[in-house]
Amino acid sequence: MPAIDIKHPLETFISQRTCAKHPVPLKKTSYDIEVVSGLAIVRSTRVFKNVEDRPIEATMTFPVPFDAAVYEIQAKVDGRILTGKAQAAVEARETYEAAIDDGKRAVLHEELLRGLHMLSVGNVAPGVEIEVTAAYVVPVALTKGNGSFRIPLTVGQIYGVTPLEDSDSIATGGDVKSVSVTIKADRGTIQIGGKDVPKRTKVQSNQPIEVRVIGLYEDKPSSLSGVSADGKLVSLDFKPLAKVKSPLNMHLMLDVSGSMGERVTSNANGDKTKWEAVLGGVDEATGEAVKSSDRITVSTFASHCTIHGSTTGDNLSSYVRSLPFVSGGTHLPEAVAKVVSHEREANILLVTDGKSWNKIDVQSAIASGARFTVVLVGEDSLEINVGYLAAMTGGQMFIVRGANVRKAISAAIKSMRNVSSPIVPIKAAPAQLTRQIAGVEINASWKSIKGSAGMTNDAVKQAVGAFAASLAVQAMEAEAGAVYAAEAGLVTHLTSIVLVDEEAEAVEGIPATRKVALPDPATSRGLTAMRGMTYASAAPQSFNLVASSAGASLMSASRHVEAKTVMASAASGMSDAVMGAQPAGWGGANPILVGMGPLMGGKDTTAVNPWNDFSQIPDPQPSLPVVPSKPKNDELTDYKLDIDDYAKKMLGLNDDFQFPGQYLKKAYDPKAVAQLVLHDINWEDAPDLLLKGDISRLSRTTQAQMLGLSQEKAIKKLAKSLNVTEMVALIAVLANKVRNRSAARIARAVLADVKPKKLANANEALGLF
């Protein structure tokens, strides 16, 4: 069962009051596009500016066309233009992190997953503006003299738990902004979103740039010439696949999960949802793309996959319309596994919006001899998993908005009549290879030649060489592919592009990370309020419902650990109108004070709610010291805090306030509390403050829990050995166990000279393994 992302209403309220929203560092985005024969050359430019008073790291995780080849990254700052260098992915990130640790400005462009990239712009000093341009090349789908391609700008809500670490994950809910687009083509009329456009136009950032060039070529697209990284002449030939009239034996997989019930853009067909558009597409295909001699097996999938049976082409429409729309989650990997095990060498058409993080077993699909052709539905669709499935099994992928689903299903079925094969592995740089992408056969060849007579202009020449290299890398084994991709200057799953500004003045401290959120897709309006209750996330502050030994529901701040401490409502007296309905098991314990056991002698106590109404929750006091200053002689003494006095100050209560009863629900368990704290810290908000032991920007619950943990004997001994405060030592130990860039930087800074034994003791005391 996927995790349910629930935040305690009080935690949300306190978080909003404690941590102000930060300015978005991304100020402007533009695209410069040139369509040449079967390729589109794209230069995307993003302008970042730091308007804060501290150094920042601007990060952005975003989709790119699945078959795009990114081959150049440039940064413009202070009138200087810097060009990045491709390195093996691990080496590139190490280069970038070393620059960050040294206070140097740096840029890193990575492929996290096929079709999903991340841009990091680190150590941007206050007031500095940086312009980052990425150049990539995309294959164009060619049919009847026209060309089309799609540049995704955002993604919808995705089912499942993201495989990415928190720092790298997609952020959504950003502002919708205007994006400038400059576009030209060799010939023909250019359309974006189905409408003729001038050379310069604007689009909104919450929908893809869908380009169509009417009359791009006549009989055959022209060949293109370029040059490889090692100086060889590269030739690309494009051939739209011819129609085949032989009978078709295919398997139709239809996504009937909840996201397929989302609305589509308005269109002449009157389809209101993605599923309705698919049904309309099947209707049209029955009369156009499939024949009575065709045999079609049909399956549907959501939380489960059902193989319904087979029908003939002339009965396909009525057969599909008799099937139920199930809704539910998108268990795509299980569906693929079931279908490929049902029939060997199956010719499969998968119709889905692809909105699932769950990883598909592509190797098993290849081993079964299956070939997957994919129709990816909707402006908020996700190419990552299904695109790789199609590419590796030799199928095609058709990406369309809801309005064009009908035609796409027919086109996909027609393409399935062509015999194709998956990518054939190669061990070294090839002299020739052939691939089929989006209904087009692409032939690439390399040969040594002197001079450059007859070559196209430099921009096209570079793009042609890069695209041909990307085709070769996809077929190579990892070791050879990494070397070849780095030499070709590509961003791939094996390589990244990094640049370091050696001339810029170094900044001090750890930069605060500011993740740029993608806007929610235009088709998802009205659904975003349900996001947290529908989709799991790797966000560290999510809660799960977990069962205790007594059978009651407890709330845990970690997806992975069943907490032993009851996280109960600190405002149980609030009305449902203010707080909203609370999940079962939320009692009256006060989480603000959970975790202060060691400071109270480890007493087995009970907590109560100090507030009768919402108005009594005070504003935060960032200036309040969280822990006493360490004695100047650096000797760790067992100083004692006046818990009542400290708690009153932290909660903003009057001095004469009397806590009715004691504070803790049950005996303090440092290992349970450490797991709560571990996933509640926002490592990216102000890592420079955390490095100093300042936790005033965290929620009061977390502050109180960390107070208790900092007094564990193993933490105190570690702090003494490192000559830092107990709080700094605790933060470093926790940071060392989190998959987060900012946390890793804190851990490196504090634990660089740590003695392994003392760190191991601290980890053991907190239950961190």
Portion of the chain with pLDDT greater than 70, in percent? 72
At residue 173, the pLDDT reads 87
pTM score over 0.75: no
pLDDT at 635 over 60: no
Work out the angle between the directed axes of helices 9-18 and 700-709 (0-180°, nearest 10). Answer: 90
Mean pLDDT of 366-385: 77
Q: Which carries the bigger pLDDT value, residue 639 or residue 213?
A: 213
pLDDT at 80 over 70: yes
DSSP character string of 531-585 = HHHH-----TT-BEEEE-TTS-EEEES-SS---SS----TTTTS-HHHH-PPPTT
Longest dimension (CA), the chain: 90
- What confidence category does residue 587 fall into, taking pLDDT thresholds of 50, 70 and 90? very low
pLDDT at 495 over 90: yes
3-state helix, strand, coil in the chain (%, to 5): 30, 25, 45
**Minimal CA–CA distance to 313: which of 245, 384, 371?**
245
- What confidence category does residue 5 fall into, taking pLDDT thresholds of 50, 70 and 90? very low
**Nearest-angstrom CA–CA distance, 277 and 266:** 11
Residues 6+ apart with CB under 8 A from 397: 66, 373, 374, 376, 383, 386, 387, 390, 391, 438
∠196-260-324 over CA atoms, to 5°? 135
pLDDT at 761 over 90: yes
**Nearest-angstrom CA–CA distance, 382 and 328:** 18
- What confidence category does residue 318 fall into, taking pLDDT thresholds of 50, 70 and 90? very high
Q: Which carries the bigger pLDDT value, residue 410 or residue 118?
A: 118
Mean pLDDT of 602-625: 35
Mean pLDDT of 518-539: 47
At residue 384, the pLDDT reads 67
Q: Considering the chain, what is the average pLDDT of its residues? A: 77
Cα of 285 vs its chain's centroid, Å = 34
Q: Which carries the bigger pLDDT value, residue 496 or residue 627?
A: 496
Mean pLDDT of 288-302: 91
